[in-house]
Chain A
Amino acid sequence: MTEVMSHFNYLVVVVLMMTGFYIVIAKSNLVKKVVGLNIFQVSVFLLYISMGKIFGGTAPILDDRFTVYSNPLPHVLILTAIVVGVATTALAGALIVRVHEAYGTIEEDEIHRQDGDA
């Protein structure tokens, strides 16, 4: 039980990651797939940031009153990853719009069916 409590954050990360994964592979709607991908992505962010946390530490901004700081390196990596995340989301959105214009649907199986007919 203590094992579970001390790794609670990581377990939640796994649950969230699998939820996102499920949406991406099981749902055929393209918009929903992108939202699922975002959930997956946030779970990875949470994993990195959780690893950087130190009990009793504070945010990594230097001040004479503090000596223990949480690890700043994951913060830097994830900060840039978030902005890259919005870039991929935007590109995915643009592709969805073009797919909808070409096929008139954003359901994956219907697109495959139309491709099969042609």
Chain B
Amino acid sequence: MIEAVNTLLLLFMCVTAFTIVRQNNLFAVVMLGSVFSLLSAGMFVMLDAVDVAFTEAAVGAGISTILMLGVLSLTKSRERVTFGTPTLPILLVLISGAVLVYSALGMPEFGSADAPIHQHVADRYIEQSGTEVGLPNIVTSVLASYRGFDTLGEVTVIFTAGIGVMLLLGLRRRTTERGAIEEPPAPGEGHMRHHLVLRVTAKLLIPFILLFALYVQFHGDFGPGGGFQAGVIFAAAFVLYALVFGIKNALTVVPEWVTRFLIAAGVLLYAGVGVASLFMGGNYLDYGVLAHEPTHGQHLGILLIEFGVGTTVAAVMITLFLSFARRARKKT
């Protein structure tokens, strides 16, 4: 039964990918990309990677799609139609595909417990993390404690991407040729406001989305979840509010200076926990010294850095959305 679901999901993914190749309508391409992400999230659940599935569903199928739609609203929604298939790319793809198939068949069998990947450090994580870190979710233990440096790097990447998009698109209102400051049209602003059903549903949903984000944030130690997922879900609530009630109203809820401050504050909190553990006599990001008992210190450290991750991710996602939504449409 599981095999069948597995195979079916993989086939659906292939069909979606092939359709994306052939589709000329970019709106459809982006939406199919979202479907593709959702299918892969389902696939990750089948492969026991619940945390990954959670992230892929929130990020790949959610925020990525919103951002790509933002790009489309500022550019073109149709691909220029080209006829015939170019031979060189096909040839290149077939050759590299053949090489990859050959090497894939040399890999250890799928699902076997004595593959090399399971022989080294993974066993230690599974056997020791329960006593060393004291959290049921091994993924959170590895992410936030054993590989804390790595995750600090990832958060810095998110931070940098936020800064990059702000530099490229700018958050300031742009002046038109006449010199008057013009409020750029937000996607759907104006007419969305008259959709009663949308407005009421959004109002009902938003508190629950925010509550769910907090649950994912603080329950990540015990079940699937954590700062990355919670941050994205939190931002999704804001994006929904901005889409239905307009950018102006959304900005009165969360002003720009707050999100800008939070982008940096999250990274600072993460790095600050590391510095604190240095001062208390441990290594950088060694949470064991933060409390009187090592596991309590680990719990405290992981809670704090996950909160830092969540803060930065949520603030960056909100900034990304706002940057695209507020960019003035180029007059043509």
The answer on a CB contact under 8 Å between A29 and B80 is: yes
Q: How many A-B residue pairs have CB under 8 A?
A: 281
Given A54-B111, A61-B137, A80-B150, residue A42 in contact with residue B52 (CB < 8 A): no
Quick check: which of B17-25, B275-283, B286-294 contacts chain A, the rest being far away? Answer: B17-25
Complex interface: chain B residues within 8 A of A63 (CB): 136
Complex interface: chain A residues within 8 A of B165 (CB): 90-91, 93-94
The answer on a CB contact under 8 Å between B48 and A59 is: yes
B198 within 8 A of A: no
The answer on a CB contact under 8 Å between A50 and B100 is: no
0/1 string, B102-136, CB within 8 A of A gives 1: 00110101111101011001100110011000001
Complex interface: chain A residues within 8 A of B117 (CB): 51-52, 71, 73-74
Name the residue of chain B whose CB is nearest to the CB of A12: B10
Complex interface: chain B residues within 8 A of A61 (CB): 50, 136-139, 222-224
Complex interface: chain A residues within 8 A of B90 (CB): 22, 26
Complex interface: chain A residues within 8 A of B150 (CB): 80
Chain B: residues with Cβ within 8 Å of the partner, total of 103
Q: What's the Cα separation between A20 and B131 when bound, in Å?
A: 43
Q: What's the Cα separation between A78 and B48 when bound, in Å?
A: 13
User: What is the interface residue range for chain A against chain B?
Assistant: 35 or more
B14 within 8 A of A: yes
Name the residue of chain A whose CB is nearest to the CB of B75: A100
A70 to chain B, nearest CB (A): 4
Name the residue of chain B whose CB is nearest to the CB of A94: B168
Name the residue of chain A whose CB is nearest to the CB of B111: A55
Which residues of A (84-99) have their CB < 8 Å from a CB of B? 84-91, 93-98
Name the residue of chain A whose CB is nearest to the CB of B108: A51
The answer on a CB contact under 8 Å between B21 and A59 is: no
The answer on a CB contact under 8 Å between B224 and A97 is: no
Q: What's the Cα separation between A22 and B22 when bound, in Å?
A: 11
The answer on a CB contact under 8 Å between A6 and B109 is: yes
The answer on a CB contact under 8 Å between A49 and B52 is: yes
Quick check: which of B156-164, B203-211, B237-245, B250-258 contacts chain A, the rest being far away? Answer: B156-164
The answer on a CB contact under 8 Å between B64 and A89 is: yes
The answer on a CB contact under 8 Å between A58 and B18 is: no
Complex interface: chain B residues within 8 A of A28 (CB): 80, 82
0/1 string, A56-75, CB within 8 A of B gives 1: 01111111000011111111
6 other A-B residue contacts (CB within 8 Å) besides A53-B48, A76-B147: A14-B104, A19-B18, A79-B52, A97-B74, A97-B324, A107-B80
15 contacts between A and B (CB under 8 A): A9-B6, A18-B97, A26-B89, A26-B90, A39-B17, A42-B60, A53-B110, A60-B48, A69-B138, A70-B47, A78-B49, A79-B51, A82-B59, A86-B60, A97-B324
B residues sitting closer than 8 Å to A (CB atoms) are 6-7, 10, 13-14, 17-18, 20-21, 26, 29-30, 33, 36-37, 40, 43-44, 47-52, 55-56, 59-60, 63-64, 67-68, 70-72, 74-76, 79-80, 82, 85-86, 89-90, 92-94, 96-97, 100-101, 104-105, 107, 109-113, 115, 117-118, 121-122, 125-126, 129-130, 136-139, 142-143, 147, 150-151, 154, 157-158, 160-162, 164-165, 168-169, 222-224, 226, 228, 232, 313, 316-317, 320, 323-324, 327, 330, 332
